[in-house]
Amino acid sequence: MKVIEGNLTASGMKIGLVVGRFNSFVVDHLVAGAIDTVVRHGGSAENITKVMVPGAFEIPLAVNKLAQSGEFDAIVAIGAVIRGGTPHFDYVAGECVKGIGQVQLQTGVPVSFGVLTVDSIEQAIERSGTKAGNKGVECTLAAIEMVNVLKQI
Ligand code: INI
């Protein structure tokens, strides 16, 4: 049996980070986790390009432009959508994940989904570097692994 799998080495990788500013008190920790992960896995902060956008709704458009530029091995989308009392959450989160999914299938550039979609500020804090880990770290590892697995297919 032939098994193809990707390692977690980020040496020489060019990574685009697209970051929604909304809920920045959470998002800043996710970004720090993402950068730290690239560096700790052999990559360089100089090879990271960070693009700031207003919120999660705008993330897919910037991800698409980076992916189409051909300059990046992978793109990490980072943001935080926190449910409020209206259906707004569902529209913003839904468009964000749908758009990101489309970009990676249409361009072949791996895009990882580091956008928290949570019911409360407490859940967001838990997933941005406290008791439930850090989504920025997790999705950056997924991006690195996908670059390395796709190279072999
Ligand atoms: N954007 C987010 O990234 N997170 C949110 O929780 C959020 N909420 O709840 O409204 C949010 N809204 C802004 C949206 O992403 C767009 O920036 C805005 O609608 C302008 O297009």
The DSSP result for 84-137, as a single string, is -SSTHHHHHHHHHHHHHHHHHHHH---EEEEEEEESSHHHHHHTEEETTEEHHH
The two structure tokens encoding residue 152: 């072999």
Of 88, 106, 119, 151, which one is the catalytic site residue? 88
* Cα 83 to middle of ligand 1, angstroms: 10
What distances in angstroms separate CA 11 from CA 7, 76, 121, one per listed residue? Answer: 11, 16, 35
| Cβ(80)–Cβ(119) below 8 Å | no
| Cβ(115)–Cβ(99) below 8 Å | no
Whether 30 lines ligand 1, by a CB cut-off of 6 Å, is no
Instruction: Write out pLDDT tens, residues 41-99.
Output: 999 999 999 999 999 999 999 999 999 999 999 999 999 999 988 889 999 999 999 99
- The pTM of this model reads 0.97
Residue 41 annotated as catalytic: no
Instruction: Write out pLDDT tens, residues 24-44.
Output: 999 999 999 999 999 999 999
Query: Long-range contacts for 34-37 (Cβ within 8 Å, ≥24 apart)?
Result: 34/76, 34/78, 34/114, 34/136, 34/137, 34/139, 34/140, 36/137, 37/10, 37/136, 37/137, 37/140, 37/141, 37/144
What pLDDT score does 85 carry?
85
Indicate the DSSP class of residue 34.
H
Q: What is the CA radius of gyration of the chain?
A: 15
